[in-house]
Structure 1
Amino acid sequence: MTDRGEVAVVRRPGRAVSAEDGLSALLAAYHLRTEAEKGEAVAGVEALPDRYRAEISDPRTAFADDVVLTALAGDTAVGCLVLTAPADGRSEIKRLWTDPAHRGRGIASGLLRAALAHAEGDGTRTVRLSVWAWRADAVSLYERFGFAVTESWDARERLVCMQRTT
């Protein structure tokens, strides 16, 4: 039996997020992998679109109004999730990412549980997200958490939009 170690989910309002806490590295890995999966592989962070570089270089500003959840294994950030500030009773989950070396340990599920609990406590009625169709494992995870495919609010090809009520 392998010792998986404890993983803690830490809630960080955007104002407390810093590039030094490991979040920037997780966001960089997320965006670089996503671009590669879309067939638009880039050589490094400097070649990412401006909006993604802004998140990576200054998550405090990028997510100032949002709740950022970070999964920690000891002092190491191994996963993240951003829950946008509610608007009209609706929030959106973005940037759910688990370091590939730490997958299979329930980190994404823990982040989702914490995000949904926060949304419910905030009075959010609907939580939505978008996920690339080729990320079948992620789609299955979201379905297990009660998300259902809904009409798209984003016209990008192969992007699946999902939502659930809290």
Structure 2
Amino acid sequence: MTDRPEASLVRRPGRTLSAEDGLTPLLASYHLRTEAEKGEAVAEVDALPDRYRAEIADPATAFADDMVLLALSGSAAVGCVVVTAPDAGRSEIKRLWTDPVFRGRGVATTLLDAALEQAAESGAHTVRLSVWRWRTGAIALYGRLGFTVTESWDEREQLVCMERAV
């Protein structure tokens, strides 16, 4: 018997998101943690850059054309990832986040497997992502799932860009 609760997965077209989905607190945690890791710690969502506050305040608009995958433990959202609609045969994975309490339980791998499946079903032939250089655990996970480092498409320093075929 395990004390680890199972997580189920749900897909939500971005435009259908609502406050009840539980995405907002996950996005807030993701962005607050990222800013802290960049050395720009802020205590509250209101102090985040405008583009991040907009995602948190209205994910249905921010991700209107995308698919949002949520990992649930019971009715509580414990992880998320966003898969963009294909553009020229390429989708992007963004905002992968697992509640720290649920890390080490395969939630991120489950989300990524589903994201790759979603991209393939949407007609993408390639999936790409960017990850901060210091997130070595995430980079290792992406590598295990077949992603390889590629030339950067993003001008921000410290980002590692990766891609793989689906």
TM-score (norm 1): 0.97
- The answer on 1:36 being equivalent to 2:36 is yes
Instruction: Classify the secondary structure of the residue corresponding to 2:141.
Output: helix
- The answer on 1:163 being equivalent to 2:163 is yes
Deviation of 1:104 (Å): 0.5
Instruction: Classify the secondary structure of the residue corresponding to 2:77.
Output: strand
Partner of 1:125 in structure 2?
Answer: 125
Kindly report structure 1 stretches of 4+ aligned residues shifted beyond 6 Å.
none
- The answer on 1:17 being equivalent to 2:17 is yes
Query: What letter corresponds to residue 152 of structure 1 in structure 2?
Result: S
Query: What letter corresponds to residue 61 of structure 2 in structure 1?
Result: T
CA distance in 2, matches of 1:165, 1:18: 32
- Gapped regions of structure 1 (runs ≥ 5): none
Pairwise CA RMSD: 0.9
Percent identical pairs in the alignment equals 71
CA distance in 2, matches of 1:134, 1:10: 29
Query: What letter corresponds to residue 19 of structure 1 in structure 2?
Result: A
| CA displacement, residues 126-153 of structure 1 (integer Å, 9 cap, x when unaligned) | 1000000100000000001100000000
- Gapped regions of structure 2 (runs ≥ 5): none
CA distance in 2, matches of 1:16, 1:69: 12
CA distance in 1, matches of 2:104, 2:114: 18
Deviation of 1:20 (Å): 3.0
Query: What letter corresponds to residue 68 of structure 2 in structure 1?
Result: V
TM-score (norm 2): 0.97
CA distance in 2, matches of 1:16, 1:73: 21
Deviation of 1:22 (Å): 1.1
Deviation of 1:16 (Å): 1.6
Work out whether residues 19 and 56 of structure 1, in 8 Å CA contact, stay in contact via their aligned partners in 2.
no
Deviation of 1:19 (Å): 2.6
